[in-house]
Structure 1
Amino acid sequence: MKIVRTAVGRTAGESAEVEAYTLDSGRGLAITVWTYGATLVEVLVPDRDGRPGNVVLRLPSLDAYEDPTRNAYVGATVGRYCRCVSGGRFTLDGVVHELDRNDGEHHLHGGTRGFDRQVWRAEAESRDDRLVLRLRLRSPDGDQGYPGTLTAETRYEIDREGRLTFDFCATADAPTIAGLTNHAFWNLAGRPQTIDDHRLAVNSRRVVAFDDELIPVAGPPRDITGTRLDHTTPRPLAGSRLDDFFVLDDPAWAAELSHEASGRAMRVITDQPGMGVYSADHYRSPRAGLCLETGAWPDAPNRPDFPPVRLDPGATYRHRTIHEFRTARS
């Protein structure tokens, strides 16, 4: 097992140095993370013939990651609050907080300069059975309109058993909201192509119902048993357009993605209450990857009937998601 740190370059705006950390398990699984956006840029997993392939989308350069017209949160850590906040505002303790409106009238994925657009501080360590990369970021009071100073940490961890773990945590010095996620686009083929020959299972029978702007409508989650969204057993992704939020009631597992041609499969386990699934139909390379974004429910700051996302001083926000990889051998 080894860790390699290399220089990527400097950002155009603030001329901050960006570094890459490669964590190699020595048993087939290796990842590369950039400090810009605490971004996962590469996950190498062997196919059934032992040939490694990158199973997440990556962009060609730092310039591309900095360009919002080319980078749709590709691989990034998203925060301070992932997903939407309707009307770009929420009320906390009777005070209305106006957030950056970067999605029409709404706030999305932390705003124009969310966590995905900032350079994080990093440190890596090797332990007996795993490699760990910690990235930290301080978000000041008023950042993108959020109250309180928030200190966030994203931790990437790989082990010898073929597991990749995302750990997020955060603390604040005043009442605020928090909800982080990773926005990787997964493609188990290990080369550029669509996800149409993948199969997906999701351990959920309910989704949050959206309006035409993907804002949750009033009422409880909708039962999807027997509908096109019912993925309780594996279904092909060909012809399936997904941009939905699935309610996760069973902590045993959240999703399973498989690709028969390569033999690769991925199982997702999380402690979070839901998962956004997006088949990237509106991405610049349509259907180039599948997003499986575990985390808080959309618009939860404005929905007291949804799982709470409030973070108070003295408390710690926590989120863990594990990706287990396996390969069927020839």
Structure 2
Amino acid sequence: MDIRHEIAGLTTMGPAPGTPVDAYTLSTAGSMAVTVWSYGATLVEVLVENNMGDPVNVVKRLPGLAAYEDRALNAYLGCTMGRFCRCVREGRLVLDGTEHALDRNEGRHHVHGGPDGFDRRVWESRVEEAPDAASVVFRLVSPDGDQGYPGQVTVEAAYRLHESGRLTFDFTATTTAPTIVGLTNHAFWNLAGAGTIDDHLLAVNATRVMRFDDELIPLGGALDPVAGGPLDFRAPRRIGSAKVDNYLVLDGDPGWAAELRDPRSGRRMRVTTDQPGFGVYSGDGLAEPRTGLCLAASAWPDAPNLPGAPSVRLDPGTTYTHRTVHEFPPPDGIT
């Protein structure tokens, strides 16, 4: 395993312009390599071979730091979202009878941690090495009242590349007061390395999907079955031109959560997670539409306001954890 450190640039926006942004590249003895930045604890590149042995970046990236800082260009590409990565209806959060007003950044709603979420921060960083793996661990302290959330929260986001080619995301958080936490990585995957994701084959281990209103806020109530509908990805299926932007509730089988395959290059990606579902988005709103598929393992959208949703509450003395693993088997056609 090898770890290379560089400076991606200096910030020009935010509360501390001129802050250096660390860039780390983890690489295996083979040709797989992963690049992450301390700005937003962001996944910038994942190099994976195709069936001819040629490595290419399979996550959508921007040309440089200035583009990542520009909200008009950066649709949360590859970043760590938080403090709560999904929507909160009307920015309303009630804990122990006390209502907290979260900062609103999507009309009347709070989305992806607010206007100055974790994706806009420069995180502290350190490296960790083991005989068969290398990691970059990013750390951030979110003060009490940050974006309206109660409690000071200390967060870590670890990217770990194993010699076998397995890429692991590990998130942890602790708090000084009751709050909510839900973290995720928001990479857009394109196993072809270019073009659209229309010819990719997608499978998700989900038989139920959430109901949304026209603002993409959950309606609550019963979940809808996917069987026979446009979001029925229980078996591998070509994405085609379908516009997908929804939350699929996983069925809980620890063996697999999602699989993505590009028939032309032969690249495959298998995902497992301890989260209850995936936000699946076909990237129609990207500056270059449909050039990446977002598979964001996360808590339920608007979980603090939905009866029956898995809890997202975090109390002092406990630790929030989230693990998602991406595996890249040998490409189809390689023997």
TM-score by length of 2: 0.97
1:148 aligns to 2:156 (yes or no): no
**Shift, 1:134, TM fit:** 0.5
More displaced stretch, 26-35 vs 63-72: 26-35
Give the letter for the 2:195 counterpart.
Q
**Shift, 1:188, TM fit:** 0.2
Give the letter for the 1:283 counterpart.
L
Match of 2:239 in 1: 237
Distance 2:31 2:327 in 1: 13
| Mapping 1:252-263, distance limit 5 Å | 252-263=255-266
1:120 aligns to 2:144 (yes or no): no
| Mapping 1:129-140, distance limit 5 Å | 129-140=132-143
Match of 1:3 in 2: 3
Unmatched tracts of structure 1, length 5 or more: none
| Mapping 1:287-306, distance limit 5 Å | 287-306=290-309
**Shift, 1:218, TM fit:** 2.5
| Mapping 1:207-222, distance limit 5 Å | 207-222=209-224
Give the letter for the 2:147 counterpart.
Q
| Mapping 1:181-200, distance limit 5 Å | 181-190=184-193, 192-200=194-202
| Mapping 1:43-82, distance limit 5 Å | 43-82=46-85
More displaced stretch, 237-246 vs 170-179: 237-246
Distance 1:252 1:225 in 2: 21
Distance 1:4 1:329 in 2: 31
Distance 1:314 1:10 in 2: 36
1:284 aligns to 2:274 (yes or no): no
SS at structure 1 position matched to 2:328: strand
Work out the number of aligned pairs and report it. Answer: 329
**Shift, 1:329, TM fit:** 3.4
Distance 2:307 2:297 in 1: 20
**Shift, 1:28, TM fit:** 2.4
Question: In the TM superposition, what whole-angstrom CA distance separates every residue of 1:149-189 from its partner, at most 9, and x where no partner exists?
Answer: 00000000011211100000000000000000000000000
Give the letter for the 2:272 counterpart.
I
Distance 2:157 2:251 in 1: 25
Give the letter for the 2:214 counterpart.
D
Match of 2:19 in 1: 16
Question: In the TM superposition, what whole-angstrom CA distance separates every residue of 1:74-99 from its partner, at most 9, and x where no partner exists?
Answer: 00000000010000111111111111
1:175 aligns to 2:178 (yes or no): yes
**Shift, 1:304, TM fit:** 2.9
SS at structure 2 position matched to 1:64: helix
Distance 2:301 2:29 in 1: 38
Distance 1:29 1:321 in 2: 18
Match of 1:328 in 2: 332
SS at structure 1 position matched to 2:206: coil
SS at structure 2 position matched to 1:102: coil
Question: In the TM superposition, what whole-angstrom CA distance separates every residue of 1:115-140 from its partner, at most 9, and x where no partner exists?
Answer: 00000011112210111111000000
Question: In the TM superposition, what whole-angstrom CA distance separates every residue of 1:60-82 from its partner, at most 9, and x where no partner exists?
Answer: 01100000010000000000000
SS at structure 2 position matched to 1:205: strand
- Give yes or no for contact 1:2–1:126 (8 Å, CA) kept in 2: no
Give the letter for the 2:5 counterpart.
R
- Give yes or no for contact 1:83–1:299 (8 Å, CA) kept in 2: yes
Distance 2:309 2:264 in 1: 40
TM-score by length of 1: 0.98
- Give yes or no for contact 1:184–1:291 (8 Å, CA) kept in 2: yes
